[in-house]
Amino acid sequence: MLKKILSISGKAGLYELVSQGKNMLIVESLTEKKRIPAYSHEKIISLADIAIFTDESEVPLKTVLESIKKKENGAKSSVDPKSDANVLREYFATILPNFDRNRVYPSDIKKVISWYNILIETGKNNFSEEKKEEEAKS
């Protein structure tokens, strides 16, 4: 599921890939359900390609989202993404205790929490779906 969920630099929120055209993607806002073109010159990244730095390695975003979901019992985050940097770091430490405090900035934590909340609100909360698909292919 996270493979089709996109973050587009310069545009707020998350988008779902609907179709591909010549030199562009057709995406739909998860919150507004409005379709727009996303062009090749824009920085577009799939949530499945994002990882969070830890002291040892990198952890895929889907694992972090699963941890938040487990902590919050499937509800929205108990911490506001606009909270103070120290509050965000303390909260993130409960989710991913060994996250790299030098390379994971408060702005990164805000994005992860905001994305999690958007995904929960829109019912796109099956973060481990890819794992099951990959196991079925093996």
- CATH number of the structural domain spanning residue 6: 2.30.30.730
Domain count, the chain: 2
The whole-angstrom separation of Cα 33 and Cα 36 is 10
| Together in a domain, 23 and 54 | no
Q: Are residues 70 and 129 in the same domain?
A: yes
Instruction: Looking at the structure, tell me whether residues 20 and 7 fall in a common domain.
Output: yes
The per-residue pLDDT for 135 is 45
Same domain as 54, residue 38? no
CA pair distance 100, 102, nearest whole angstrom: 5
User: Which pLDDT score, from 0 to 100, does residue 137 have?
Assistant: 42
* CATH code where residue 120 lies: 1.10.10.1650
- What pLDDT is recorded for position 138? 42
What pTM does this model have? 0.88
For residue 67, the enclosing domain spans: 50-137
pLDDT at residue 129 in the model = 62
**Low pLDDT (below 50) residues in the chain:** 131-138
pLDDT at res. 136: 43
25, 30, 119, 31: which is closest to 72 by C-alpha? 119
| Strand ranges across the sheet with 44-46 | 35-39, 24-29, 15-21, 5-8, 44-46
Looking at the structure, tell me whether residues 124 and 61 fall in a common domain: yes
Same domain, 54 and 91: yes
Is the same domain home to 80 and 117?
Answer: yes
Q: What's the pLDDT at 62?
A: 94
